[in-house]
């Protein structure tokens, strides 16, 4: 046979194969079947009414951003017997729409997209599938069936900053930042405000690494900060690298402390991790899903549903380990440092010249959370009478960004592109 004939046969076989595949495929909605693993026991009489799918930007194995979203997915899967969940990891934004199409065709009717870069794809799909719920994490575009949600850390970064200011001996505090987008700038400034409140002479040095997930760049940035004399490090980046670097210096007898980020990361630096931020996306998901189930949310009324949850809702937690706001080995040192100010608690208590440990706890109460060290639990008061972004705030060029007593609102925080007065960071803005 000639090559053309062979090509023709190959083509025919190929078309036939596709045809058979098409015929053999299950039609219409996928029949309810027992999920093969790790889901709660299948109850045929109470088939799940809702199927929620999560689209992740990175691997679950990043132990940062994606990992915490996955933890939350598992938590709500446990929580709601009527819910069936799944996920796809490492999805590049260009494929997000395709994945959503695939998931919707599999019968998934609640889609969570957990990266800023999914913003346009999510809205596009929401417009196409008006009967499906969409929730996009960290963006700013909504639609009648597409809400947004975000757990914000800036209050925690401020509390971390208070501790960093008390613990630095060199007067130089370092910050490894993935990107200087408004979210991260907000974190850095909140951190710097905390540092400044306790230690007005200290400076915050920022290194931008240019990647969300790149342990090598993060390590190089941390080492570069340390070589410039920094002895306390915080970061916004998706791996525990900075903490590991600090621990490595500790193991060699040098004093370098650090704060955790996103996950409970204390195991990576048990001797150096002072505190940090932990996300509890499950709190937000729980609320969203319960409201969908009870009919509060419909595919018509999400246009203005924007979760921006912080401490008082329990969406974020202070510390680098669960239920441990401050690593105990640092508490004594924090108690040695006093701050010359007066703090008024909601119950009328007045603290004069509090030590930094007390100050952190007091600020936390002012932001709606009470920590009970004896029982190791939190209570939430849903009462927020303090915000770190309260004037007077000056940028590092000396401009007044908020006058005395004025609190920066949502919009100012979500578009923030200036450095607080004690920050030395890369130039901002552009575009």
Phi, psi of 400, rounded to the nearest 5 degrees: -80, 120
320 makes contact with another protein (CB under 8 A): no
Among 1, 29, 46, 350, binds another protein (CB under 8 A): 1
Among 40, 59, 81, 373, binds another protein (CB under 8 A): 59
Measured in whole angstroms, the distance separating CA 129 from the mean position of its chain's CA atoms is 28
248 makes contact with another protein (CB under 8 A): yes
* 3-state SS, residue 244: helix
Question: Using CB under 8 A, which of the segments 17-25, 75-83, 280-288, 324-332 binds another protein?
Answer: 17-25
395 makes contact with another protein (CB under 8 A): no
Q: How far apart are CA 237 and CA 221, in angstroms?
A: 11
* Residue 227 CB, nearest approach to another protein (Å): 4
Among 10, 32, 329, 400, binds another protein (CB under 8 A): 10
Strand bridging mode 342-344 / 203-208: unpaired
31 makes contact with another protein (CB under 8 A): no
Phi, psi of 345, rounded to the nearest 5 degrees: -85, 160
Q: How far apart are CA 327 and CA 338, in angstroms?
A: 19
406 makes contact with another protein (CB under 8 A): no
Q: How far apart are CA 97 and CA 92, in angstroms?
A: 10
Q: Which of residues 147-186 bind another protein (CB under 8 A)?
A: 179-182, 185
Radius of gyration of the chain (CA): 25
Residue placing its CB nearer to another protein in the complex, 17 or 392: 17
Question: Do residues 415 and 401 make contact, with C-beta atoms less than 8 angstroms apart?
Answer: no
Binding mask 289-308 for another protein (x = CB under 8 A): --------------------
Interacting residues of 45 by C-beta distance below 8 A, sequence separation 6+? none
* Residue 381 CB, nearest approach to another protein (Å): 30
368 makes contact with another protein (CB under 8 A): no
* Residue 40 CB, nearest approach to another protein (Å): 14
* Residue 245 CB, nearest approach to another protein (Å): 9
234 makes contact with another protein (CB under 8 A): no
62 makes contact with another protein (CB under 8 A): yes
Interacting residues of 44 by C-beta distance below 8 A, sequence separation 6+? 32
Helix or strand holding residue 287 (H, E):
helix 281-293
* 3-state SS, residue 418: coil
- 121, 188, 311, 361, 384 from 365: Cα distances, Å: 40, 22, 10, 6, 8
Q: What angle do CA 50, 51, 52 make, to 5 degrees?
A: 115
424 makes contact with another protein (CB under 8 A): yes
Q: How far apart are CA 220 and CA 209, in angstroms?
A: 9
244 makes contact with another protein (CB under 8 A): yes
Residue placing its CB nearer to another protein in the complex, 130 or 353: 130
61 makes contact with another protein (CB under 8 A): yes
Q: Which of residues 76-135 bind another protein (CB under 8 A)?
A: 86-90, 92-95, 97-99, 101-106, 115-117, 120
Binding mask 204-233 for another protein (x = CB under 8 A): -x-xxxxx--xxxx-xxx-xxxxxxx----
* Residue 364 CB, nearest approach to another protein (Å): 26
């Amino acid at each position: 046979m000639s090559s053309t004939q062979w090509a023709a046969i190959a083509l025919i076989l190929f078309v036939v194969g596709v045809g058979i595949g098409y015929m053999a495929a299950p039609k219409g909605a996928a029949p309810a079947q027992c999920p093969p693993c790790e889901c709660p026991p299948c109850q045929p009489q109470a088939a799940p009414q809702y199927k929620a799918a999560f689209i992740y930007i990175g691997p679950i194995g990043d132990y940062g951003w994606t990992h915490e979203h996955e933890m939350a997915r598992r938590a709500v899967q446990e929580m709601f017997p009527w819910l069936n969940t799944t996920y796809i990891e490492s999805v590049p934004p260009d494929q997000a729409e395709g994945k959503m199409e695939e998931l919707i065709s599999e019968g998934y009717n609640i889609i969570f997209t957990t990266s800023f870069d999914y913003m346009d794809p999510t809205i596009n799909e929401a417009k196409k599938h008006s009967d499906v719920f969409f929730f996009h994490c960290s963006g700013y575009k909504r639609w009648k069936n597409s809400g947004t949600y975000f757990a914000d850390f800036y209050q925690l970064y401020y509390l971390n900053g208070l501790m960093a200011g008390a613990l630095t001996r060199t007067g130089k505090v370092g910050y490894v930042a993935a990107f200087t987008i408004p979210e991260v700038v907000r974190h850095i400034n909140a951190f710097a405000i905390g540092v400044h409140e306790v230690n007005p002479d200290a400076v915050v040095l920022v290194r931008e690494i240019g990647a969300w997930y790149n342990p090598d760049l993060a390590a190089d940035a941390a080492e570069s900060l340390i070589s410039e004399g920094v002895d306390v490090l915080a970061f916004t980046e998706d791996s525990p690298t900075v903490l590991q670097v600090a621990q490595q210096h500790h193991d060699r007898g040098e004093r370098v402390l650090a704060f955790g980020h996103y996950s409970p990361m204390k195991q990576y630096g048990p001797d150096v991790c002072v505190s940090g931020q932990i996300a509890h996306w499950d709190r937000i998901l729980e609320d969203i899903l319960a409201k969908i189930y009870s009919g509060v949310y419909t595919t018509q009324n999400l246009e203005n549903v924007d979760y921006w949850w912080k401490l008082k809702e329990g969406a974020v937690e202070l510390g680098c380990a669960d239920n441990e706001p401050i690593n105990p080995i640092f508490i004594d040192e924090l108690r040695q440092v006093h701050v010359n100010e007066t703090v008024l608690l909601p119950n009328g208590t007045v603290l004069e010249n509090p030590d930094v440990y007390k100050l952190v706890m007091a600020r936390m109460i002012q932001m709606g959370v009470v920590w009970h060290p004896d029982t190791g639990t939190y209570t939430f008061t849903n009462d927020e009478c303090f915000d770190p972004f309260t004037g007077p705030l000056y940028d590092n060029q000396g401009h007044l960004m908020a006058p005395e007593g004025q609190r920066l609102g949502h919009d100012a925080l979500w578009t923030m592109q200036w450095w607080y007065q004690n920050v030395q960071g890369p130039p901002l803005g552009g575009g």
